[in-house]
Amino acid sequence: MNTQEIFGKIFDYKLNGIDSSDRIEIEKKNYDFSTNSNSEKTTFESGIKSIDVFTPLTFGGISKISGPSWCGKLVLEMELIRNFLKTVGGKVIWLAVEERSREWQDILLEFKECNLAGEIVSVLTKANDSQEIFSEALNNTISLAEELAKNEKVLLVIDDRVLDGEIKFFPNLQNGQVLTLVSCFPEHKNSENLNFDSEIILNGKLAKKGIYPAVDVIASKSKVLSEAQKEVTAKVQKLFVNGNFPDFAESETQAQRIQNFLTQFFFVAQLYTGKPGVFVKKEEGLKDLQELLENGFQGLDPKEFLYKGNLESITETA
């Protein structure tokens, strides 16, 4: 079938339609997961400050996002998909694992509310499937990603439960056309051996405080930072560690300002927050964090920095 007709539909591990009679016919390969990928890597600008500055995502690379579902992980993934589609205009594939009957359909309803469901092709497995089925699903999904990447960029989201714990590397996918994001839950260990470019770790204490995205900039890490990003990351991490992150004392106002500044409203959550989403360019977020570290803004209440896109919007209203 025409690859343009597969979006908004769900397929099984053999790429047979689940919610339709469609079948995806592509050349399927057996990938070697034992050798490193040498893809040329380019950065994807997500518009999310805490990701673009501290844990950037790369085409030609593989990154992970890890945290309990109640920390806003799905919403963060949805925002990444939305911004990918808006700024890159590529294709999205999600290799999912369903815990209970119709769980994935319920998730797709959330995507539909954000006008995203029709832009995603889902490959669905079951939580009790064998490792052989998971492996076939992974191979077929990567084959599909490679086919689509011949013409445009692809965001490939993979549930870590389909991964074999022995996998160390992903194959070279279309010379940097594919951005691979592994969606992890802390209790799963299947992705521990993977060679990630960036690891986005969510923190439950931040979520309970209403800090979203709940990215833990101490636990998160990246191998693809520029020198300026490394410098900002080191300074913020030192400030947070000294301030007893995430439970900052009332006197730790600079740490509070920076943590609050890393919050932002998401486009996909506007229905619930009533606030329009914000897209922050990486260079602007980096520059603002450098200024925050240098100047401190001691005269401003840390609460003024909550859910603001940039420093200019804060100083204008102060």
Same structural domain, 210 and 231: no
Residue at a domain's end among 222, 240, 257: 222
Give the total number of structural domains in the chain.
Answer: 2
Same structural domain, 193 and 233: no
CA 162 – CA 180 distance, rounded (Å) = 14
Same structural domain, 209 and 233: no
Q: Which residues contact 220 (CB under 8 A, 6 or more apart)?
A: 54, 55, 198, 199, 200, 201
Same structural domain, 187 and 232: no
Same structural domain, 190 and 208: yes
Same structural domain, 58 and 130: yes
Same structural domain, 200 and 269: no
Give which of 253, 244, 262, 260 is closest to 295, Cα–Cα: 253
Residue at a domain's end among 198, 222, 246: 222
Same structural domain, 73 and 212: yes
Same structural domain, 235 and 140: no
DSSP 195-209: --SEEEEB-HHHHHT
- Beta pairing class for 42-44 and 57-59: antiparallel
Same structural domain, 66 and 97: yes
Domain of residue 204, CATH code:
3.40.50.300
Task: Specify the residue for token string 């990215």.
Answer: 215
pLDDT tens digits along 85-108: 999 999 999 999 998 767 788 888
- Asked whether the whole model's pTM tops 0.85, one would answer yes
Domain of residue 293, CATH code:
1.10.1140.10
Write out the chain's pLDDT in tens, 318 residues: 566 689 999 999 999 999 877 889 888 777 777 766 666 789 999 999 999 999 999 999 899 999 988 899 999 999 999 999 999 999 999 999 998 767 788 888 888 888 898 999 999 999 999 999 999 999 999 999 999 999 999 999 999 999 877 677 777 676 689 999 999 987 777 677 788 999 999 999 999 999 999 999 999 999 999 999 999 999 999 999 988 899 898 888 999 999 999 999 999 999 899 999 999 999 999 999 999 999 878 889 999 999 999 999 887 665
Same structural domain, 52 and 101: yes
Q: Contact 307/275 with Cβ under 8 angstroms? A: yes
Same structural domain, 50 and 173: yes
Q: Which domain holds residue 242?
A: 227-317
Residue at a domain's end among 222, 246, 266: 222
Beta-sheet strands, E only, within 205-254? 221-222
